[in-house]
Structure 1
Amino acid sequence: MPESKSRKKATYTPPPQKQAAKPNPRWWVPVMLGLMVVGLLWIVVFYIGRSTDGSSLPLPFLGTWNLAVGASLILVGFGMTTRWR
């Protein structure tokens, strides 16, 4: 009976190890929380500071776009939470 060819086994090479993710800088959490709090306060001040003559706080020339500014600050803070380690 004919002999089968012998197989050469490839040497085992382990997969490269993943490097551990670096922790965030110390300023990350205070900035993240600060943006969310400032955004919330911006919206609260906008609603409290509205007057009947159409002017509003915190920036009168923005009008109702003050809501967009506050929401944007909150969203940026929330986006930072996804990168928090």
Structure 2
Amino acid sequence: MRNTAAVAKPVPIISQQLVQQPQRLDLNKAAALTRQKELTGIGKAKAEAIVAYREAHGPFTSEDELLEIKGIGNALLECNRDKVTVE
């Protein structure tokens, strides 16, 4: 007599891929056009002002230095904080 019990097939394990966080924009390297495209509320004038500030004062040491730029306040900084970095 033949054994008719069902044989369980192995279930493949699918590895869970880590969700990559989006690249953050380095304030000390990104060009004005890149800032304009990637940051919320940053148009051409503010993007150019960020680059001008960096050229006049040297590399950014903190994201909070953006507050020194005319037209960038706390709300705009907080809106973009997770999109920028200083390396």
Category of TM-score, reference length = shorter chain:
0.3 to 0.5
Counting helix residues as a fraction of each chain, which structure ranks higher?
Answer: 1
* TM-score, reference length from structure 2: 0.33
Larger radius of gyration: 1
* TM-score, reference length from structure 1: 0.34
